[in-house]
A and B are shown apart, each in its own frame.
Chain A
Amino acid sequence: MLSEIVVTVNGVPVTVPSGATVTTAILLAGKACRISVSGEPRGPLCGMGTCFECRVAINGKPHCLSCQTLCQQGMEVRTDE
């Protein structure tokens, strides 16, 4: 069981503790999760999968809730940029 995991956020490697969610990786990378309809950067609001502000593409699948997804070794995360 790894105590640290490396994922990539927009191609850049980020190290997180095992058990951390994808939102943690995104915030450690200094990125917003998404850009809103009128161009605002957005980060997580509710932290529990109800607001959908944290949605990103994970391993090619769009609209995954990053706050509800645990990081796995080698996961590829893409935010709106």
Chain B
Amino acid sequence: MKKNLQWKIILVLAVIALSVFLAYPPGKKIQLGLDLQGGMHLVLQVVTDDAINTETDQEIIRLQEQMKKSDLTYDSVIKSDERLGRIVLQGFDATKEREVRDLLDEYFKEWDNSVTGSNATLTMKATAMTYFRDQAVRQSIETIRNRIDELGLSEIPIQRQGGPTGDRIIVELPGIEDPDRVKNILKTTAQLEWRLVYGGPAQDQETLLLEHDGKLPLEMEILPGDPRRNLGGNYYLVSRVATVSGKDLRDARRSYDEWNNPAVSFRLSPEAGRRFYKFTSDNLQKPLCVILDKKIINVATIEDRISDSGIIRGFSDPDVVDDLTIALRAGALPATIKYLEERTIGPSLGADSIRKGLTSIVIALILILAFMVFYYKLAGVNAISALVLNVLILAGALAYFKAHLTLPGIAGIILTIGMAVDANVLVFERIREELIQGKSVLSAVSSGFSRAFRTILDANVTTIIAAIFLFQFGTGPIRGFAITLIIGITASMFTAVFVSRLIFDVSLSRKRKRTKLSI
């Protein structure tokens, strides 16, 4: 046997060994896509406008403070309804126009301002807007990741879609049995706040304002009671600024109050604890409310000083408390979240798909085996060996790249089996032609392979081009299909050209003068 033949054999054996090593046992090494193992695929959209609005609200408070510090008076500061990220400052002393302009230039660098007479408009700069939107998406991803961790799931891929300016998030959760609960937990904004209550409850907003001559004082705000709790249908007049909020939380757990109703027990950071202690000392016997996502869930009188821990009452369902504590521990979402797409597949359907997919693969293999042996005799066996090796390499590569095997992926494997044979067929047909022209077996094999190679290359590259574009455009299962197709076709070039040739060479080298080829 020739030296270089030996090396080739070693190479092929090494490839086999590597593939088996990577893919065995397949149950553990090859990861299944959601459609095969069951689970939930979610596409969420972060409503980043919310983040811009929040930022604008905070800047309005800062503007009020700065104006006060500089002893500048004005009629009102409001958020513009017409345009996102715009603040309108009205009715300051027109003679102080210059001071106002200086103040805006110095302290509000993220905003473009235009000052005319006694009015000014601030518009958030485009760069700042992009920044806040991006931050909102990043923070949302972080929060969602935390919540999923809290649910006891790990290594969940969370992707941002659409590059650095994209506002979409893809979450893939395997093996979920209660999709609705998970969806609710992920979606809860979970912005928790403690604020003072100035008035209420009242049936409508006008009643609340009677005490204040029908005008809403600047430092106050009207919020509704949570309809799911017994505060429904009522409105309260509360302070605009929160004393303590969800950001100050260090921990939140389910517990029970004195009457054995479910409650949330919380612990604050030391700094927030001191703040809360001072605040409750100053406001003893006044009503305080707990607000969750802009709805009041509980109102109680401050009976005692509270420092860094306490409980929130007002719940009836322990499951609601559980889900809320999960969301609170994981942190609040900076913006509202919408679901754009949702796919849930039950585990039994997945198992069924695997079984049917494997059946199809086996049947396809047998059919092709029968066909090839019938048509090409011994050379058919050669092709089948190459084919089996191809599937082996495919399995190894899938395991190595940690690609998920999906149902379309299985279809990709079956298709690869059908198409991989093509390379063999091209070669065999060429060899037959050469034999008919009267060439010797050795030279027919040799020129058959070399002439067919160019054809195989051209034909396969185009299929790979199609697969690459498919990969670009697709998500989840479709990508799985594109990947198996790309790997399978690449592997088929190796197996059909290199391995199959080697098998011919080895069998021909044994007998010096071979005049017949079983093809």
A and B are interacting partners? no
